[in-house]
A and B are shown apart, each in its own frame.
Chain A
Amino acid sequence: MAEKRRSGVSMAEPKSAKADSEEEFLSQLGVAALLRGSLLKLVEARPEDPIGFLADHFANLASGSEAADCGDGEPSRTVQDRLSQALWHLNLAHHSQRSAFNNNVRVAYELLMTGGQHLRPGGGVRGRIYTELLRSLCSEAGLSSSTSAPLLRRIQCQDHEAVPFELFRQGVLICTVFADYVRKSQSLYLAVSGGSELPAQRALCQAALGALRDALDTAQCADTARYLEASAKIAPCTLAQAMASAQSSYEAQAGTSMDPEEFEKEAAALFIARVQPVS
């Protein structure tokens, strides 16, 4: 790729002397390595906006080296800076893109591990930073703090603890999956309420939540069989049956409704109940 860079530049100038001095100029600056590194990152992350990614990437590099140039004795970047950089990395790839996502988690982990005044015994990210990161992940994904608070209570660490990589990765994964889950339950609510502005009928909501709970409860057998069985329980026809029978019983009751916040809370609770708390 370095050859491509050089040939891309030198083709502009036919005079070899000028091309030579330009090549020398560029290699003095280390441009080839810089570009190679940025392209590798770009192609690995495959963000939707490659131009923006490159702008941020070079800005990160620039502020890193600029900070290194000015005096020592100061922490090279504030915790806040490193947090926002880590968040930026984590947002590059969706968690379903497993290998890209895992790479980004690794990068974020190392970002948050370095620096700081004293080395933690046994390494790892400080608990306070870890908790802060998880909280920011949830809020950046659009979750309200009331929705994410119960989850965070389960998985956050003590301020002074050192968080090892595997735990870090799990925590980040749980938060991103949770964010997706809440978004899906929000659209489920919209579907149940038929898209109108009125809140959905309580009985229908409860039927939907019940089906969801059933599906999530499937725990007995091996993984693949579990997924198949769970999907069967939440299949459109099953859900439709549950909702139809709820509908008929609803007619006997007064029209109570469930508002979106309550639905979201119930759905979230189903998820959180299955998250193992960090001891």
Chain B
Amino acid sequence: MNSDRFALTIDEYLAEKDVMFYLEDAITQLLEHKEEYVQFGVSRYLAEYFNSVRHGSHVLFREFGYIKATPHNRASFIRIFWKCYRQIGKNGVLLSALEYSSLLQLICPDFPVEVAQGAARMVLMDDALDCPMTFADFLHALQIQLYFEEFIESITVIYQDLLSGKSPNTVIVPTSTSMEQLPPLATSETAAQEGVDASAFQDAVEAACERYKHRHPPAPAIGEILQQDERVTLYGFLMALAKHEGISEEIGSLPSRANLLIDPEMDQELERLIAQISVSPTSSNSHTAAHRESGRKASPRKSLHHRKRIEMESDGSTEETDSSEN
């Protein structure tokens, strides 16, 4: 927010950071978990709630509706997903969309499979959708898919229109059909020319951003991407958005690609685990490798409970160590 915040009406000021939403959710949560929270006193409970909102740990284990509700929640969720599972990236393990979806459901019980699949479609350019992906690719695609969900719906419609030759200026309100129900885009167009004319697409996208006022990537970034080639495909565009460092920086959840896999605390913990396993009397040489593998695979879950405890007990003090990585 800028210093113009004093010129806003009360409702506008409160709406900028979704204050009323968080207050209402805090009270609803208090009512749903009376027994747990009442012993602390309401002020302490509210202080903890808002503190966790401030630190971004409030979305952990919450329902998808809550995660989707505000931009801050979406960004916080991406950050939590990154922190919980970045070890996967370190080991170079590739996972499929369904496997990532399971991981997502560990930290958000009702996380829809379609969202993970949408992100996968971006990475794989709508082809061979069972193909496994790297953590970094999937994470960045998920970030765009979640944070700009409404924007993506709009431009998909725009793209379809341009592809089928319809004028993009007709006002079409995107219906609530999820992305997987749209017809596959590998149509007869691909034989002759791939995608649509980039500048026409850019004009239509910018007009849509004006009209619909939903959250969208910064216009200069969009322009930068669309000015590179004469023609553009939808997934080419979306993947370029996912890979764009500037957009990722704007959202502010993730460090730069170079720093994505750095996690000194987890490295230490893993080394301890591995040391314990190797000296265990039941392991033989041939099993050591498998144990190492399972030791690593088990750790996201262990770290999850470990971190959940840390985050709930120490009021987000893990934030201090993480900030040095940014």
- Chain A residues in the interface with B (C-beta under 8 A): 5, 8-9, 12, 22, 25-26, 29-31, 34-35, 38-39, 42-43, 46, 48-52, 54-56, 58-59, 61-62, 65-66, 94, 97
Considering only CB atoms, which chain A residue lies closest to B7 in the complex?
A46
The residue that A59 contacts in the complex, of B10, B27, B51, with Cβ under 8 A, is: B51
Contacts of A97 in B (CB 8 A): 6
Question: Do residues A51 and B41 form an inter-chain contact, with CB atoms below 8 A?
Answer: no
Question: Do residues B10 and A43 form an inter-chain contact, with CB atoms below 8 A?
Answer: yes
Known: A46-B6, A65-B41, A97-B6. A35 touches B23 (CB 8 A): yes
Question: Do residues A55 and B31 form an inter-chain contact, with CB atoms below 8 A?
Answer: no
Considering only CB atoms, which chain B residue lies closest to A93 in the complex?
B6
- Chain B residues in the interface with A (C-beta under 8 A): 1, 3, 5-6, 10, 13-14, 16-17, 19, 22-24, 27-28, 30-31, 34, 38, 41-44, 46-47, 50-51, 53-54, 72
Contacts of B42 in A (CB 8 A): 29-31, 34
The residue that A25 contacts in the complex, of B3, B34, B41, with Cβ under 8 A, is: B34
Question: Do residues B51 and A25 form an inter-chain contact, with CB atoms below 8 A?
Answer: no
Contacts of B34 in A (CB 8 A): 25
- Interface of B, helix, strand, loop or mixed by DSSP: helix
Known: A29-B42, A34-B42. A9 touches B47 (CB 8 A): no
22 pairs across A/B with beta carbons < 8 Å? A8-B24, A9-B31, A25-B31, A29-B42, A31-B27, A35-B27, A38-B46, A42-B19, A46-B6, A46-B13, A50-B16, A50-B19, A51-B19, A51-B53, A51-B54, A54-B22, A55-B47, A55-B50, A58-B47, A59-B44, A62-B44, A65-B43
The residue that B53 contacts in the complex, of A22, A55, A56, with Cβ under 8 A, is: A55
The residue that A9 contacts in the complex, of B28, B41, B53, with Cβ under 8 A, is: B28
Considering only CB atoms, which chain B residue lies closest to A100 in the complex?
B6
A112 to B38 Cα, complex, angstroms: 31
Contacts of B46 in A (CB 8 A): 34, 38, 54, 58
The residue that A66 contacts in the complex, of B17, B28, B41, B50, with Cβ under 8 A, is: B41
Considering only CB atoms, which chain A residue lies closest to B11 in the complex?
A43
A5 to B5 Cα, complex, angstroms: 24
Considering only CB atoms, which chain A residue lies closest to B9 in the complex?
A43
The residue that B44 contacts in the complex, of A9, A31, A66, with Cβ under 8 A, is: A66
